[in-house]
Amino acid sequence: MTATSEYTAGLSGIKHPGLVQWVLEVASLCKPERVQVCDGSPAEYNEMIRAMVQQGTAIPLNEEKRPNSILVRSDPADVARVEDRTYICSRQREDAGPTNNWEDPEKMKAQLRDLFAGAMAGRTLYVIPYCMGPVESPLSKVGVELSDSPYVVANMHIMTRVGARVLERLGVDGEFVRGLHSVGAPLEGEAADSPWPNSKTKYICHFPETREIWSFGSGYGGNALLGKKCHALRIACVQARDEGWMAEHMLIMKLTNPEGVAKYVAAAFPSACGKTNLAMLVPTVPGWKVETLGDDIAWMRFGADGRLYAINPEAGFFGVAPGTSMESNPNALLTAASNSIFTNCAMTPDGDVWWESMTATKPANLVDWKRRPWTPQSGRKAVHPNARFTAPSRQCPVIAPEWESPAGVPIDAILFGGRRAKLVPLVTEAFDWQHGVFLGATCSSETTAAAAGAVGSLRRDPMAMLPFCGYNMGDYFAHWLKIGSTEGAVLPRIFYVNWFRQDDAGNFLWPGFGENSRVLQWVFDRCDGKANATDTAIGRLPEPADLNTSGLNLAPGTLEQVLAVDKAGWQGEIEPIRKHFAQFGDRMPAALSAQVDGLEARLKAGSCCCGSKHGK
């Protein structure tokens, strides 16, 4: 076993005494063979790739078809986030709330210390200093992940800013989020390593008061890349609550009209609702342009002018591969054309990757994600439904020039959305901020085959944060309301969209994809006071004539269907919404309960908010 003094020698480049002490404590517990401080250099990234290739974890892809890229295949038992093993270990159970798994922090740490004891034997402990957001931005936050996985190091290189410049920002006494990760597979004696080491026992634990993350047993995605969901959402939303800002599961897009005027939109959608597609939308409306600043997470703070300014804390895309194609999302596919990591995809005979719906014609033969020969006649999927690509944001063809602006970008509109076959109109504008928070708090989707639960069952996912809120969601709603009452605030308008409304035969009424730019045009013009909206019981909606449908060949009456307000159906929503809110008990803000009463009253009255048409 390496002596503690040798661990210390490897930390000579760290000036922060508290960080040095923590690394030594972890090394003493986990017993790694060596400690390596990551510098974030291309040479270091290539070193991680070589290590994975030599270990059998990764396969280099064809340099001509997919330059500087690899395919990784995980253990079939380690393929996605493990929500049932994810915990919020707040000091008080009530602070975690009813939507999170909770355990007493001291009890959980005692269990974890037993698991981590000797867990890194025979492996390298990588010290990964990372910055969520541009290193020079005052809106960014620093974290340090300690991990024994080169796969984690390589992915963190793409997804965050890693290395020496982060340590420089941290200085001698800067604050940082502490993340400890191990695959939980020590190498004892002469034991051979496996291509994808992991443990049957898995814990992903968050300690919000002390800003810590402890992750054991999984090497996959959000379980192991601790800067992503663990830090950027579950811990950051607690920091945001305490410090007066917002950490949200939202894309950020730049929308520019034909006159060259730009607005910035943040949007929160549950899974399978087209979030990444919207972030990289190719508009069908002539003269309009969409550029992306990020597809997953937005951190927002008030600027001196009272507006909310957003940064994307990530530096890469960790995208779901199946379904991504030149038809559905060409910009995502082009982003991953090189310098990318592919996980649990299939491999073509000429050394490229493939997944379902990537091409109109399936290849004649492949090696599937479980390393088995595959043909279209195999009767099974070639890739795992949660197969991923990790690609640098800078490679996206429509990345906005200001995506790394230290000041962030001012948000003009916030979109919420869900997948509903009936009831919810194509687009609704909130009456005001409080009503917008109500719309976000009642976000819902009917589950698809790719999501947990019976297909078609309704799942409430407030602000698309259900798996990612690091504290009691009743308090989270209250924080949104508090943000809205900030003195001098110039707040974004809030909208709710539903691209998925169907007719009685189950056909989608709205074409979606690039045609969603028509809805974005109305949102843009509403923010400028240039588009009409009519008040209804559920919010402000466009009339069919208010949407630009030029060149769109919709069947007669389709727009009326996608914009219809089914009052009887909405009356049926009242009790489920009350039940949804009731789970938060006395943590539920009275202002949102009053919103339910207001909706019910408007529906019973058979009238709208004020019965008028709004041009501004």
| Rounded Cα gap, residues 212 and 457, in angstroms | 35
Q: Which amino acid is at 239?
A: Q
Q: How many CA atoms lie within 13 A of 379 on its CB side?
A: 0
Tokens of 350: 């000429």
* CB-CB contact of 391 with 340 (8 Å): yes
| Rounded Cα gap, residues 383 and 371, in angstroms | 10
| Rounded Cα gap, residues 391 and 336, in angstroms | 5
* CB-CB contact of 393 with 315 (8 Å): yes
Centroid of chain to Cα 334 = 20
Residues 6+ apart with CB under 8 A from 584: 97, 98, 472, 473, 474, 477
User: Residue 558's CB: how many other CB atoms inside 10 A?
Assistant: 18
**Paired residues of 37 in beta bridges:** 127
Q: Which amino acid is at 606?
A: G
Radius of gyration for the chain, computed over Cα atoms and rounded to the nearest angstrom: 24
One-character DSSP codes across 39-70: ---HHHHHHHHHHHHHHTSEEEPPTTTSTT-E
| Rounded Cα gap, residues 526 and 548, in angstroms | 13
One-character DSSP codes across 271-285: TTS-HHHHHT----S
Tokens of 176: 């940082």
Helix (H) / strand (E) element for 7: namely helix 4-9
Q: Which amino acid is at 318?
A: F
Q: DSSP class of residue 605? A: H
Q: How many CA atoms lie within 13 A of 73 on its CB side?
A: 18
Given the residues 237, 273, 345, 527, select the one marked as catalytic. 273
Is residue 38 annotated as a catalytic residue, yes or no? Answer: no
* CB-CB contact of 338 with 393 (8 Å): no
* CB-CB contact of 292 with 251 (8 Å): yes
One-character DSSP codes across 481-535: HHHHT-TT-BPPEEEEE-TT-B-TTS-BSS--GGGGHHHHHHHHHHHTT-S-EEE
Centroid of chain to Cα 173 = 30
So which residues are the catalytic ones?
273
